[in-house]
């Protein structure tokens, strides 16, 4: 087999990457690199995640990170970045991907920007999700996030890919009253040819809301503990991708986070550490098998329609409520109801032929369950919270008849005029299935 040089070379702080056409999978050699950037905000800033919070952050419990992994076959390069943030606006993820393209030559469409969805990090979106974003921090964080991708590309080296899937029951609960959860813990290991770890990419579906509204310390919640658990046990870089956990959390109702910010039993750092260790152990217990093939990326834009806004009278009534949770949102809507649709990206990256499906927003667990069944792949890694998180994506549409927080109120935290229509989930699912077929 002819030796291949890594397709990215750092020159004076600038990475130059050449992209060419695709090729057949047999005899393909993989390269992988990983890097981490600290994106912890200054103490005192606004926190996102809970409308009930009464003040900004008071301390840093553990750092927030942007973790990047790059995988290449010498022709096509895929980059995945996961950030310890609650959300990013879709145009912010496009800006980050565009920055990576300018600095490296990797097309922006081959850069997936995800968030872990911690509820104890800074406000970074226009809607705020319970906080007020600091534009200076957002700009600095975006530059650091893109920098992590550049560093991962600069670290590319020959690699072997192994794939597996663990199982973990009991961590997540369905807060909408159902029994459906997602026990899968998909794992992708990238190792040097001598077996040393480069990166472990893993996923599980459960809201990182172990810490409640009473917590004012910055933390990555249980995903941070899971990463540290893995890195301490096996080395390398651990990258967590949040699963389809729209209605899955650690065992409380959505309304618990809207009430007064009083301590709630079990919502402690000790619990977050325990959950993180459980997820980490599920990753370690997952049997893996080598996989070989090319790297490919397929992505498409989807315009998600929003429902009808409230009437001016209804908005005025909300705006007049004393100390109401949604008064600020109602007043903003009276000044202008915003767009009627939001454009997002759906993508499927394949590393060595192994698919990773990336969905936007907060997708319900049924997305992952149905995609795995449709593609005949029970270990398929299906990540939400990627390419922008403008709101919840309920699926299937039967959820709309049941109402609830995700349907009736959550869009207000995102600054949207209404929830996405039932068509939105169907469009995202159709796009994901089509892309998975395209890249097979």
Q: Is residue 229 domain-resident?
A: yes
Tokens of 290: 């080598």
- Find out whether 291 and 352 touch, Cβ atoms under 8 Å: yes
Domain with 105, as residue range(s), is 28-304+339-438
Q: What is the pTM of this model?
A: 0.93
pLDDT at 214: 92
Residue 138 within any structural domain of the chain = yes
Per-residue pLDDT, 202: 98
pLDDT for the residue 322: 85
Residue 321 lies in a domain: no
Residue 309 domain-assigned?
no
Q: Is it true that the peptide bond before 406 is cis, omega within 30 degrees of 0?
A: no
Q: Among 351, 363, 378, which residue's Cα sits nearest to residue 76?
A: 351
In a domain, 15, yes or no: no
What pLDDT score was predicted for residue 255? 72
Give residue 22's pLDDT. Answer: 44
The values of phi and psi at residue 122, to 5°, are -75, 155
For tokens 């004012």, what's the residue?
A: 216
Residue 94 in any domain: the answer is yes
Please report which helix (H) or strand (E) contains residue 311, including its range.
none
pLDDT in tens, 88-97: 999 999 999 9
For residue 220, give the nearest of 122, 321, 98, 73 by alpha carbon.
122
Q: Give the pLDDT score at 278.
A: 98
Structure tokens at 185: 């813990």
Contacts of 174 by beta carbon, 8 Å cutoff, 6+ apart = 180, 181, 247, 248, 365
Predicted confidence at residue 267, as pLDDT, reads 92
> CA 347, 349, 353, 354: dihedral to nearest 10 degrees?
-90
Q: In terms of C-beta density within 10 A (0-12 exposed, 13-18 middle, 19 or more buried), how is residue 3 classed?
A: exposed
Quick: pLDDT tens for 22-78.
444 557 899 999 999 999 999 999 999 998 887 899 999 999 999 999 999 999 999
DSSP calls for 84-152? SSS---HHHHHHHHHHHHHHH---GGGEEEEE---SSEE--SSS-SSS---HHHHHHHHHHHHHHHHHH
Strand partners, 301: 345
What are the structure tokens assigned to 344, written together? 């997002």
Q: What CA–CA distance (Å, rounded) separates 110 from 129?
A: 28
In 247-278, which positions are buried (b, 16+ CB within 10 angstroms) versus exposed (e)? bbbbbbebebbbeebeeeeebebebbbebbbb
Residue 61 in tokens:
């419990």
Q: Of 275, 278, 284, 274, give the one whose Cα is nearest residue 165.
A: 284
Low-confidence ranges of the chain (pLDDT < 70): 1-26, 257-261, 438-440
Residue 318 within any structural domain of the chain: no
* pLDDT tens per residue, range 292-306: 999 999 999 999 999
Q: What is the pLDDT of residue 438?
A: 53
In a domain, 4, yes or no: no
Give the closest residue to 149 by CA, choosing from 69, 64, 40: 69
d(CA 353, CA 355): 6
Cβ 244 vs Cβ 178: under 8 Å: no
pLDDT recorded at residue 261: 65
Number of compact structural domains in the chain:
1
């Amino acid at each position: 087999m002819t030796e291949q040089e890594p397709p990215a070379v750092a020159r004076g702080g600038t990475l130059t990457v050449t992209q060419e056409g695709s090729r057949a999978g047999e005899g393909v050699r993989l390269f992988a690199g990983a890097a981490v950037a600290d994106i912890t905000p200054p103490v005192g800033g606004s926190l996102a995640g809970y409308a009930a919070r009464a003040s900004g952050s008071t301390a840093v419990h553990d750092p927030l990170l942007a973790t990047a992994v790059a995988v290449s076959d010498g022709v096509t390069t895929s980059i995945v970045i996961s950030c310890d943030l609650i959300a990013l606006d879709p145009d912010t993820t496009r800006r980050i991907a565009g920055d990576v393209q300018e600095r490296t030559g990797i097309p922006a469409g081959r850069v997936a920007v995800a968030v872990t969805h911690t509820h104890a990090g800074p406000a970074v979106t226009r809607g705020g999700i319970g906080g007020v974003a600091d534009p200076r921090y957002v700009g600095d964080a975006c530059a650091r996030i893109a920098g992590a991708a550049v560093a991962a590309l600069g670290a590319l080296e020959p690699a072997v890919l192994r794939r597996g899937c663990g199982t973990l029951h009991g961590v997540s609960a369905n807060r909408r009253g159902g029994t459906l959860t997602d026990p899968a813990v998909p794992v992708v290991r990238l190792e040097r040819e001598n077996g040393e770890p480069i990166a472990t990419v893993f996923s599980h579906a459960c809201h990182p809301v172990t810490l409640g509204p009473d917590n004012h310390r910055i933390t990555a919640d249980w995903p941070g503990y899971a990463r540290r658990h893995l890195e301490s046990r096996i080395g390398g870089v651990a990258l967590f991708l949040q699963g389809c956990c729209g209605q899955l959390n650690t065992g409380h109702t959505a309304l618990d986070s809207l009430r007064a910010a009083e301590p709630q039993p079990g919502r402690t750092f000790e619990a977050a550490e325990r959950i993180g260790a459980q997820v980490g152990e599920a990753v370690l217990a997952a049997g893996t098998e080598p996989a070989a093939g090319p790297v490919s990326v397929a992505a498409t834009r989807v315009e998600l329609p929003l429902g009808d806004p409230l009437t001016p009278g209804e908005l005025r009534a909300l705006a007049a409520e004393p100390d109401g949770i949604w008064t600020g949102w109602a007043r903003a809507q009276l000044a202008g109801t915003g767009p009627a649709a939001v454009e997002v990206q759906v993508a499927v990256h394949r590393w060595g032929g192994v698919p990773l499906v990336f969905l936007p927003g907060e997708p319900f667990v049924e997305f992952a369950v149905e995609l795995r069944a449709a593609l005949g792949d029970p270990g398929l890694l299906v990540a939400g919270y990627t390419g922008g998180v403008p709101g919840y994506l309920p699926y299937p549409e039967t959820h709309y008849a049941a109402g609830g927080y995700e349907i009736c109120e959550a869009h207000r935290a995102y600054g949207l005029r209404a929830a996405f229509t039932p068509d939105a989930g169907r469009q995202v699912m159709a796009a994901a299935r089509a892309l998975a077929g395209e890249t097979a």
